[in-house]
Amino acid sequence: MSKVSEAIGKFKPVSIGFDHSVLSDDIKKALPYLKNAMDGITRIFLRQQSEALPQVYDEVMAGNDEEKKSFFKLFLGPWGQLENYKSLFDEFNDRPATCAFYPVDITKEEWEEALANASEEEKEQLLDTYTVIERENGKLKATPYHEYFKEELADIFDNLEAAADVVENEELKKYLYERAEGLVTGNYRDSDATWVRTKNVPIDPVIGPFEVYADDFMGIKATYEAFLMVVDHEKGNQLKEIEDNLPNISKHFPLPANSKAAVGGMAPMIVVNQIYAAGEARQGIMASAFNLPNDAWVRGEVGWKQIMIYNIMKAKFDTCTTVIAERVSNGTIHADFDPYFYFVLMHEVSHGLGPAYRADGTPVAKAIGKNYTAIEEAKADTGSLFTLVKLGGQYGIPSYGKNRVLDSFFAGLFRSMRFGVHEAHGAANVVEYNWLKEKGVIQVLPDGGFKTDATNLEEAAESLLYELCRIEAEATPDEAAAFLKKYAEPGRDILDALDRLTDIPIDICVEYEL
């Protein structure tokens, strides 16, 4: 099998349909405009990865190499997402660490020098999340996204306005107008804030530059992405009680050494079914939950939204997670969707709990440095496991019993570790696995299979949560690294089990009906 077909084969096609009858006529009228706007976002995202990519993409789609077309559709480029964005085609180079956010041949020295010689204002522009860096007459200069992608954004603006014109829901209308305006003026903040405040909307379109994952050079430039989601208010209301009880739940998270939790406004949890995605959100592995916006001011002053994408989560669970659990346990461990759903939910909630600032005011992320993400992801997982086991039956958190929670959690461990045990999320899962194994909660059988024993689950989860919060509140970067060296190394048991999963899909390849 060629490496191209192998890469495609790791994603199982799943059709994501939805019941149009739940949508009112005005919304149905708005959908084609929203789809157009989002396709524009994909065009920008292609260009952000490489200036030449939009044209290359069109040539591939116009050609007759079906395998290549499938690959480009799935990964939005010639690069393997599970291969660190290496090109899987001889005729293309690997995706550069700079993408097209910076000149491809830029060096750290050139960047540092430009920052050192820049005025305060220029420096701010260079470091801005929403600027493209170009070299002009040997000097680096920053152009704001809304100018750099002016042409694409003008079309997106028109489509968002057209959608706003036809929708009747006032909140949605206001948000769409403001967002259209924000995208072409570069003022994202006001419409981000409006988005967080919108509550009673039938559909929830998220659109704009958000995450900085693709910037492997400095980690500061955001890529464009978009999600179109139908809101499930009934399921969302079930989560309202958890939301109202966040202060009570947060009391169970330790704040060692006078550290402080983040103080945000509301963090509404929204359950949705995704009906379309674009830009980075459409590339390869699908998100099943996210929280936005990232803007520190909006998060501090207004808050953020926790989005749980029910249909994507369920499709991934049925396609990958349950199959993995059955395989590694030789059919003895059965994962179950409801506890898994709440595990993912409480993971997102847990990111907002526990230490965010140290006693001296330093943000935890800054104090720990490069290992922060692995520690924080482990904290979010462990916080989730702990709250489900200890607080199930209170504060709106369902009570599933220790065994069901543990088995669904266990399935999730191996699902995540497959994405790479050295990447931050994978490493976090190795930490949790090793800790629980040390406490006898996970046991390795002589045949290489696994068994779970929930007897010590609560103490094991609690002790790990305390250790991770302690690291966040007071450990030096070296101490954090030493902890990961001890617990984030995958043993033979993990590696052998992962070897037995190679034929199970890594993720889903979503086919939208829209």
Number of H helices and number of E strands within the chain?
23, 13
CB of 265 to Zn ion, least distance (A): 20
Site for Zn ion in 215-254 (CB under 5 A): none
Which of 380, 406, 417, 457 lies at the binding interface for Zn ion (CB under 5 A)?
380
Q: Among residues 351, 409, 349, which one has the least CA distance to residue 377?
A: 351
- Distance, in Å, from the CA atom of 268 to the CA atom of 282, rounded to the nearest integer, reads 24
> Where does 422-498 show beta strands of DSSP type E?
442-444, 450-452
By CB under 5 A, which span of 268-276, 359-367, 379-387, 464-472 interacts with Zn ion? Answer: 379-387
Helix or strand or coil: residue 228? Answer: strand
Residues 332-371 that bind Zn ion (CB under 5 A): none
* Interface segment toward Zn ion; rule CB under 5 A; list 138-146, 190-198, 227-235, 372-380: 372-380
**Which SS3 state, helix, strand or coil, does residue 148 take?**
helix
Compute the distance between CA of residue 59 and CA of residue 56 in angstroms, rounded to an integer: 5
Among the listed residues 200, 209, 125, 207, the one whose alpha carbon sits nearest the alpha carbon of residue 170: 200
Length of the chain: 514
> What CA–CA distance (Å, rounded) separates 153 from 511?
26
Instruction: Provide the mask over 428-447, with x wherever binding to Zn ion is found by CB under 5 A and - wherever it is not.
Output: --------------------
Closest separation between CB of residue 49 and Zn ion, Å? 24
Tokens (6 digits) for 29: 């009228």
The neighbour count for residue 476, using CB atoms within 10 Å, is 12
- Between 169 and 371, CB nearer to Zn ion: 371
Cβ neighbours of 503 (radius 10 Å): 9
Binding string to Zn ion for residues 440 to 479, with x set by CB under 5 A, is what?
----------------------------------------
Nearer to Zn ion, 356 or 380 (CB): 380
Nearer to Zn ion (CB atom), residue 43 or residue 379 = 379
Q: Which is nearer to Zn ion, 162 or 380 (CB)?
A: 380
> CB of 185: closest distance to Zn ion in angstroms?
31
CB of 380 to Zn ion, least distance (A): 5
Residue 184 vs 287, nearer CB to Zn ion: 287
Stretch that binds Zn ion, among 50-58, 246-254, 380-388, 416-424 (CB under 5 A): 380-388
CB of 289 to Zn ion, least distance (A): 8
Stretch that binds Zn ion, among 26-34, 260-268, 375-383, 390-398 (CB under 5 A): 375-383
Q: Do residues 281 and 317 make contact, with C-beta atoms less than 8 angstroms apart?
A: no
Binding segment for Zn ion (CB under 5 A), chosen from 10-18, 373-381, 454-462, 469-477, is: 373-381
Contacts of 273 (CB under 8 A, 6+ apart): 16, 18, 229, 230, 232, 309, 310, 311
Shorter beta-carbon distance to Zn ion: residue 7 or 430: 430
Nearer to Zn ion, 424 or 473 (CB): 424
Q: How far is the CB of 347 from Zn ion (least distance, A)?
A: 6
CA atoms within 13 A on the CB side of 399: 6
Number of residues that bind Zn ion (CB under 5 A): 1
Which is nearer to Zn ion, 180 or 374 (by Cβ)? Answer: 374
Nearest to residue 114, comparing CAs of 96, 106, 132, 98?
106
Beta bridge partners of 229: 204, 274
* Spatial CA neighbour of 405 closest among 380, 386, 383, 379: 386
For Zn ion, the closer CB: 160 or 344: 344
Place of tokens 């200069």: 141
Q: Could you give the CA distance from residue 140 to residue 146 in angstroms, rounded to a whole number? A: 18
Decide if residue 313 touches Zn ion (CB under 5 A): no
The answer to whether residues 207 and 198 touch, using CB atoms and an 8 Å cutoff, is no
Pick the closer one to Zn ion by CB: 380 or 484: 380
Q: Pick out residues in 478-497 that bind Zn ion (CB under 5 A).
A: none
Taking the C-alpha atoms of residue 203 and residue 470, their distance in angstroms, rounded to an integer, is 41
To Zn ion, the closest distance from the beta carbon of 58 in angstroms equals 36
Residue nearest to Zn ion (CB): 380
96-115 residues in contact with Zn ion (CB under 5 A) are: none
Q: Which is nearer to Zn ion, 9 or 420 (CB)?
A: 420
- CB atoms near residue 86 (< 10 Å): 15
Q: What's the min distance (Å) between Cβ of 384 and Zn ion? A: 9
Smallest gap from residue 351 Cβ to Zn ion (A): 6
Interface residues with Zn ion (CB under 5 A) are 380
